[in-house]
Amino acid sequence: MQISAPSFSWKEAVRVGVLGGAIAILISLVGMVAAFGERYIVYGWFSMGQVLFLAPILFMVSLTLRREKASTSSKTVLHSLLAGAVGGVMLAVLVLLGQVINLRAVLVNASPRLYGMLTFNQGLPAGPFVLIAVTALLGAVAGAYHLLPPRWQRTLSQAVIWLILTGLMRDLIMNIVVRWRLVGELFKTVLFASSGLQPIGAIVLLLLIGGLVYWRSGQPAGRGFSLKNQPPTIRWASIAGIVLIFLTLPQILGVYFSEILDNVMMYILMGLGLNIVVGFAGLLDLGYVAFFAIGAYTMGVLTSPELRAEPLTYWQALPFALVISFISGLILGLPVLKLRGDYLAIVTLGFGEIVRLLVLSDWLRPWLGGTQGIQLIAQPRIGSMVLNTQEELYYLFLLGVGIILFIAIRLKDSRLGRAWMALREDEDVAMAMGINHVVVKLLAFATGAVFSGLAGTIFAAKLTSVYPHSMNFLVSINVLALLILGGMGSIPGAFVGALVLIGAPELLREFAEFRYLVYGALLVTMMVTRPEGLWPEERRRLELHEAEEELKGAEPVPAS
């Protein structure tokens, strides 16, 4: 039965256009468009800056179309065109206004450069009309897109997304392929320009990805690749392959990207730790950086010849650092046992600040170095080799992440992990189930503290110095934000969150000054559209092991 859905009306089209235009103006005026002006996706054709002001208009149109389930008619295209044009008009008004009034006195980013970008460098009077034409065309394309069959929609959207990503990651990709001379030359001459893609390369890439997606979406559904469904040999081979890739990554990526990976892994370590405290046990800890600081400073105090006549080595100091982190976790846990929710968050926040102020204080200066911090911290040695380059430290981080990942996975599906989750769900009932909330809460704080402390020790060894200002509140917020983004309580979520929140800004250096603006927008969008996170926690199937039983059923088939 056909229920007449409210079609995309003229009024709605104008409303959507105004909204999209408003977002585009905001993005332009905070300076993001101009900052990404030189980041070409297709060299000489369009840059990330242009993507940034066109995308909101496109996004709004396509969001509305999806929600309205617009009737499949040429009217849709016409209305989308109108919505796009309205968005363009708003930006054009901004450009024209900028010619008449000196907006720059108030809005520093309303620069001639921005106007140039918005009008595709067509100058006046043609520029604004070009802009409106482009946005109108984009709107129409969005309208037409929704009339396409799903298979074509997927092909088109994925091709465009991958095109933009490839253009953005040009440096990373070139850095890898440059090692193989022939491939490197090919990529350099055909695919990539000095920034972004060559026009020819872009077309080839679009066709290639489009073709691939189109072909794959034609395959019978429900054949998703899952390691669990594979026979053991393939499963182990895949795992070995993944391990091998991780082991050779620094060789492939080089110094700069190894350092990015080191940073990402440091946050993964902290993310996995905070995931136990907040994700599993539901104890909102806003002072998590404290344990990171305690790990790093313990390493500093024990191994720096500045502070000790007979400094320890990294490996000798490590157990002390971990034990002290564990104990400090207990110390934080004790006073907050009875606190829940907001109150707990405030007290933990205070704990983080106390630790930062202590390491900063003049009072403890003789022991902790005060504002000067601690220098000459030992780097780990293996035999006669000192791990001191980014690539070598990568392996230390990898080892740490490996161990912590193992512990986190084991804990999640254990008696203790279940007790944590029960505590998160309903503390009173958990106690009535015989769970000793004191022990279980303290263990959550302490375990999380050890993970963070470990990250701190490697951080100290990496920089060979620690300063109080590295231990600020924003570290705690970053770790919490990556968990929310990846999915609270989800172990793979911590990885995804760290890659997106810590890795991506490093690749897009231009983002640096807008980092927290983007964080905010990203988190708000996530909460509205996908509150469970990018890779949400999945409950293990315990009663009916479908995957395993299928496997057992498949095994007896003879290989001959």
Partner 1 sequence: MAILVSKKVTKRFGGLEALSKIDLEVREQSIHSIIGPNGAGKTTFFNCVTGFYTPEEGEILFNGRNITGLSPDRVTHLGISRTYQNIRLFKNMTAVENILVGMHPHLKAGLIGSVIRPSWVVKEEREALEEAKHLLRFVGLQGRGDMLAKNLPYGEQRRLEIARALASRPKLLLLDEPTAGMNPSETQDMINFIRRLRDELGITILLIEHQMRVVMNISELITVLDFGQKIAEGTPLEIQRNERVIEAYLGRGAASGLGQVHASPAAR
Interface residue list for partner 1 (CB under 8 A): 406-407, 410-411, 414-419, 421-422, 425-426, 428-437, 443, 447, 539-544
Dist CA 383 CA 22 (whole Å): 61
CB 287 within 8 A of CB 279: no
| Closest distance of CB 428 from partner 1, Å | 7
Smallest distance, partner 1 to C-beta of residue 500, A: 24
Cβ atoms 130, 47 nearer than 8 A: no
Amino acid at 206: L
- Sequence-ordered alpha helix ranges (H) in 194-276: 199-218, 232-274
Cite the beta strand spans of 63-144 per DSSP E. Answer: none
Closer of 134 and 411 to partner 1 (Cβ): 411
Closest CB 339 distance from partner 1, rounded Å? 17
Cβ proximity to partner 1: between 98 and 417 the closer is 417
Nearest distance in Å: CB 347, partner 1: 22
E strand map for 343-438: 381-382, 385-386
Task: Dihedral sign for Cα 172, 492, 59, 112, please.
Answer: negative
Q: How far is the CB of 407 from partner 1 (least distance, A)?
A: 5
- Distance between CA atoms of residues 148 and 154, nearest Å: 10
Between 164 and 416, whose beta carbon lies closer to partner 1?
416
CB atoms within 10 A of CB 314: 23
Nearer to partner 1, 12 or 427 (CB): 427
Cα-to-chain-centroid distance, residue 441? 29
Specify the DSSP class assigned to residue 73.
S
Of the two residues 25 and 435, which places its CB atom closer to partner 1 in the complex? 435
Sign of the alpha-carbon torsion through 324, 328, 330, 334: positive
For partner 1, give the closer residue by CB, 150 or 319.
319
In the bound state with partner 1, the residue whose beta carbon lies nearer, of 75 and 437, is: 437
Evaluated on CA atoms 22, 23, 29, 35, the torsion sign reads negative
- In order of 23, 247, 408, the CA distances from 402 in angstroms are 42, 12, 10
What is the C-alpha to C-alpha distance for residues 150 and 88, in angstroms, rounded to an integer?
Answer: 28
In the complex, minimum distance from the CB of residue 340 to partner 1, in angstroms, rounded to a whole number: 15
* Amino acid occupying residue 28: S
State the minimum distance, in angstroms, from the CB of residue 424 to partner 1: 8
Contact 398, 265 (CB under 8 A): yes
SS (H, E, C) 487-519: CCCCHHHHHHHHHHHHHHHHHCHHHHHHHHHHH
Q: Give the residue with the Cβ less far from partner 1, 513 or 546.
A: 546
Least distance to partner 1, CB of residue 172, Å: 36
In whole angstroms, how close is the CB of 537 to partner 1 at the nearest point?
9
CB of 509 or CB of 545, closer to partner 1:
545
C-beta closer to partner 1: residue 125 or 434: 434
* Closest separation in Å from C-beta 451 to partner 1: 12
Burial class of residue 255 in the structure, from the number of CB atoms within 10 Å of its CB (0-12 exposed, 13-18 middle, 19+ buried): exposed
